[in-house]
Amino acid sequence: MEYRKLGKSDLELSTITYGAFAIGGTMWGGNEKQNSIDAIHASLDHGISTIDTAPFYGFGLSEELIGEAIKGKDRSKIQILNKFGLVWDGSNHGKGEHFFDAEDNGKTLPIYKYAAKENVIKELEESLKRLGTDYIDLLQLHWPDASTPIEETMEALEILIGQGKIRAAGVSNYNLDQMKTANETTALSSNQLAYSMLNRGIADDIIPYAIDNEIAIIAYSPLERGLLTGKYFKDATLKANDHRNGYFGQFDAEKVKGFLAAIQPIADEKNASLSQLVLRWTTLQPGITIVLAGARNASQAIDNAKAMEITFKRDEIDFINEQLNKISL
């Protein structure tokens, strides 16, 4: 495994980071507890020392599973990246921005973006309890909240850094202007953004700014939630309450299928899976610091870690990029 420095912070994170959205179950058709814990253990055993989660992932369940999985382990060797700012339990008292409605055990819950100072501190304390730890390595605003000044949210993060409850401050899903404002208020360590072979829009403006200002980019959905593994073009199926039933519809399935067929020989030559090839390619893109990869069992976690063993020749990278440019999604 390779480890990379997160922006100007003192944090060193595993280049492949365990993404814990799916193990929360919500929007992913449920989860299996022991498989989830096994996936975390396998990740740690194979060099993936960094775990990214959020309170919204399973309405606290993802955090609780992580807390159970790391109990008794050397916390100093594990980096926890967490988030705040999505509220579902009414504790925002009608404040913030309504985002969407989510389903939880047959109930519909309105989700709000809410990043006021008091909520940042409140959510952090709740997360610490669920995770069974006394600090978070990187705390990130999950989604921009237009109802709260960016400066107020960043001030809360500065307070938590001063208290030693978090080691670094980050954001997620911020556009360029929002990044600039946040970086003027605090020492912004990172921005977590959607980035994949099929979604490279941030390369035009956000990545150059991040490079110039030593801000890390944490790439989420590098496999487009499983689409780029190729298995959904074969015999894999999704449960009815899996959000990917709608999510995959934004892509031209035939173009994606053709692209994966074109790069399959490279994966075969390296005795690698398509998902490993895609993950490794993503880690090598300019400005991309950390790449999130989910795993719902130990086998998937080990495969993710082994993606870092892949080496590319220059002509292989050029071929992959040429194929990507052809599909122009």
What sign results for the dihedral spanned by CA atoms 105, 109, 111, 115? negative
- 57 assigned to active site: yes
Residue with tokens 């959000």: 243
Q: What whole-number distance in Å separates Cα of residue 295 and Cα of residue 123?
A: 25
Residue with tokens 């507890």: 33
Q: What whole-number distance in Å separates Cα of residue 10 and Cα of residue 172?
A: 19
Q: What whole-number distance in Å separates Cα of residue 274 and Cα of residue 114?
A: 38
Q: What whole-number distance in Å separates Cα of residue 201 and Cα of residue 100?
A: 24
Say how many C-beta atoms besides its own lie within 10 A of residue 31's C-beta: 18
* Active-site option among 18, 57, 112, 220: 57
Q: What whole-number distance in Å separates Cα of residue 180 and Cα of residue 301?
A: 35
Q: What whole-number distance in Å separates Cα of residue 214 and Cα of residue 8?
A: 6
Which residues participate in catalysis according to the annotation?
57
